[in-house]
Amino acid sequence: MTFNDVRFAQRFPQSSHPRGSSFPFDDLFDVIEREFAAKRYVIVSLAAPPHYRNYVIYNRLPNGEFEAVTKGRDPKNISNVKEQVRNMGGTDILA
C-alpha cells in the first residue's frame, strides 16, 4: 500500500505467523535490521493493555535492542522493543 509516495507493507500478520514460542523472532528482527540499513523506519504494534499501541522504531542500540516512540495522550519512548515482542510471543510490523 502506498500513500503520497510512502510505501507500507505489513509483515508477520497473526494469520500467517501465530503468536507463541514458535514465532520467527529472528526473522522479524532481521527484517527490522534490513529496513534500518535501507534508512527506513519500522512501525511495530506492542501491547498496551487493554489494547495495542503503534510505535515507530527509530534506533538500534549498541546492546542490540531497538528504541521506539509513540505519540498520543501519553507519549512514550522505550528502549526494549525486542524484549516486549518476545514477551508478547510475536507481533506484526509495517515496514
With beta carbons less than 8 A apart as the criterion, state whether 44 and 30 touch: no
Q: Quick check: is 2 in a domain?
A: no
* Domains of the chain: total: 1
Per-position pLDDT tens, the chain of length 95: 666 676 667 776 677 777 888 899 999 999 999 988 899 889 999 998 888 899 999 999 999 999 999 987 788 999 999 999 999 999 888 87
**Inside any domain, residue 39:** yes
**Cα separation of 67 and 81, whole Å?**
6
Range of the domain at 47: 7-94
Q: Is there a domain that residue 20 lies in?
A: yes
